Structure formats: C-alpha cells, structure tokens
Amino acid sequence: MKDTKIALVTGANKGIGFAIAHGLGAIGFTVAVGARDDARRSEAVARLRAADVNAFGVALDVTSDQSVTEAAATIERAAGRLDVLVNNAGIAGRTDGGAQDPTTLDLDVVRTVLETNVFGVVRVTNAMLPLLRRAASPRIVNMSSNMGSLALRTGPILAAYAPSKSMLNSITAQYARRLADTNVIVNAACPGYVATDFTGFNAPRTPEQGAAIAIRLATLPDDGPRGGFFDDEGVVPW
C-alpha cells in the first residue's frame, strides 16, 4: 500500500461516490471507502474487490468529530499518508411541508443539510490535511452542484440544499487561497444530473458519468487549476 496512491472517498457506499471509488481503483489507486453504515460499507468494499479494486473500508460519518478523527487515524495506520480526498457525501434534506421553500423555510433542515454538506467537508478536510500534506501531489475534490451556482440558478427551489452547495463553493475558494503556496490542489465539481438514490434514479446521467469530473480533478497535474468549479464541459459559473 505504501507504493500505490491512496484515495479517500466519503459516502462511497453507493451512487456517485461508489463510482468514484471504482474509477480511481481502476486507475491504480488504493481506495479507502468512507461510509457510515457498517453493512453498506462492507458490501461496497466486497463489490469493489470483486472488480479488482484494492479497497478497504473506513468507518466515517462526516457529521461526527469522533468518527472523522478515528477515520484519519485508520488511514494513517493503513497508509501513513493520503494522496486524494473526495468529499462526496451529501444530502438533499427534507422537503415536505414547504421545508425548503424559502418563505416557509425550516431552519432545522438548513442546519442538518449544512452539517453534512458544508461542516462535514470542513471536518473531514481538516482531519485529513496532515496526511494529505505528506503526499507528493495531494488533491481535494469537493462534490458540489450547479444548483449552488448563483449565476445559473438552476433546478428546483431548494432553499437548504442549493445554498449549502453555494457555501461549499465559497469554502472551496477559501481553502484554495489558504493552500495556494502548497502542493495541495483543491477544486469543486458538479457531476451533472445523475440517476442515484438522491434523484430517485430519475435522471439522465449514470453514476460513472457523474464520477468522471471528480476523477479528473483528483488526478490533475501539478500545474492544474486551483480553486475552481468544474463539470464535464469545463468551468461552471459561480
């Protein structure tokens, strides 16, 4: 394991995260499968290994300080460093009863969504940064959404989810500025509209298609872009 690159993908047990884990594994990464549920994590690791991916499970609930601290310790023991972090885990949040209509917004839903989609990313990133700094070409990819784009204003009105991705984009820019003079490259990605549990499997793109931009940003050359927001077509407007 010391000779191969190590990638941690959060929320890797299904959907786009699983496809990212599979795709990184297929190009030679050892993949740490971050997932909060023991059974779902084991099943995903087994499926990846059956596809010849060098994978191991890491218990990881991005909303828990203790879980994230323990996940970093697990990766340190297993590999001693981290080459790639993909912050993929995300939730849409409840929408019943106008919970994400801005005029009747349920602030508990906002807090819950921010806890996973934004604070979870900060929590995981800061726990993993010491391990990332030991890698030769560390990359961080934050899985965002064009629904967070203030310029595009696309998709349904979801006044917890969409702003959570706007804030994630903003945090991504803050990290890129802070890490500008280091070898750590941070970017945000939009996977497009992808058929997963998240969308009720009612969307045109496959998880593999959604994973492609994250894999590209995870494997950028050392002179690659920093602090940007990209999809398959190129730059996504903020």
SS3 state at 215: helix
- Which region among 29-37, 51-59, 69-77, 102-110 touches ligand NDP (by CB under 6 A)? 29-37
Q: How far is the CB of 132 from ligand NDP (least distance, A)?
A: 19
Strands 229-231, 234-235: pairing kind: antiparallel
The catalytic residue among 2, 5, 14, 161 is: 161
Q: What is the DSSP string of 108-127?
A: HHHHHHHIIIIIHHHHHHHH
Specify whether 165 is catalytic: yes
Specify whether 161 is catalytic: yes
- Which CB, 82 or 190, lies closer to ligand NDP? 190
- Which region among 15-23, 105-113, 132-140, 172-180 touches ligand NDP (by CB under 6 A)? 15-23
Residues 34 and 56: their CA atoms lie apart, in Å, by 9
Residues 224 and 213: their CA atoms lie apart, in Å, by 14
Residues 99 and 191: their CA atoms lie apart, in Å, by 25
Interface residues for ligand NDP in 100-119 (CB under 6 A)?
116
90 binds ligand NDP (CB under 6 A): yes
- Kindly list the residues in this chain that would bind ligand NDP in the complex (CB under 6 A): 10-11, 13-17, 35-37, 40, 60-63, 88-91, 116, 120, 143, 145, 190-191, 193-194, 196-199, 203
Catalytic residues: 161, 165
